[in-house]
Structure 1
């Protein structure tokens, strides 16, 4: 554990994955080379642990920040998890229903939504992920770590922020959705929890990302690397902008910083 020379955190969608949400062979090889170089590759994503394990199957990745920092794993062991209290879920669900926005609830392995909407279908098509099961009682029967609001009306985002700003953090991570986590939790907090657990605070840390929910991740590492397909806002918070995720941007960035040599 203490032989690592650096830590590299990767977002998935729009970063480590291609347009079909698959792991390109070049990135797979890069992950293998990082481990050979005694550099620890980790995922930091809004996706669930189950999805991360499926996507990275066959790679040596065994550590990750998942569900935007709500469920964090090091070497296949859970080191921190942050369940959302039932009363908070019920209050958010009530407001979202009045605004016509469906809400999905995520455990470590499953997810379910209250009801189906066009926005919900668009989001999962964009992510090449299965649609949630529809269940009115799922959140009452499981430990929930992250919520997903399905809304294309960014004007209503402020209503959620005004009502729940002291309870939740909202990340608009697509034109169709907002990821919802407990206040104080994020990719940034998850990374900090992992680094502290590993007792490797002195090591160089890098992060690759493209979305608004990656900004906290950028703050948690020494070197923040934005993909060229990121927005100008995200790029402005990075130390370096690599090529697009569709133009071998991961390998280009890793080589630029001498991590694959």
Structure 2
């Protein structure tokens, strides 16, 4: 039985970048967390320790900062594509470069004052080879809640089932969504804002009989409103809310006071895609 080297990659993870755009008296602020991963002809360094084809990860970190100065750092998709293409074009041993960016939003308080927004994080992941480029945008930690218009009944019941059917419940989740673009050239800011708006509007506007139904409605609405998106992947944890028993205090509870559950939780995942969507060029949902 032989032993061989399998798929491998390496890179610099979580390079923190803050870029101030000092264009006049009103400043702009970009706050990124950048991760880079390279794969290609790297067998020698694994088998013999020959590092002649290894670009140091410290160099990758330095490139992030240098590119932020030389090219600016605006939309995360554009910056990720710029970095990924640089590594593929300048390093012949590299066949694929993947760049992932978390983008932290700040709300403007004045010309040069900001407050960090904490309700969600914008995400970006690009994969570039010599022939293809794939862009995936997304959002994580987007907490949404409907206090009504949610039911859950008609489910399978067996000897271990204790959950009671309900026609009135709180539906809450923390959205982790990623959407794959059909191309690599679009108005990234408008696309992200429109996609986020579509997801939120679908959640708020759907009378839900299951979180699965809500997931599909959210994905379908994003695709209906954003022609540049080929498919969307959603992971929706069910943030359970349990009705508090106040009978010990002589109080009723007409569906008003709840215990917010932490774990365990239901996790609903799914992909909504166009039937004519171009094929993905790399695994994008991981």
Q: Could you state the TM-score of these two structures normalised by the residue count of structure 1? A: 0.26
Bigger share in strand: 2
Does 1 or 2 have the higher relative contact order (CA < 8 Å, sep 6+)? 1
Higher helix share: 1
Compare CA radii of gyration and give the structure with the larger one: 2
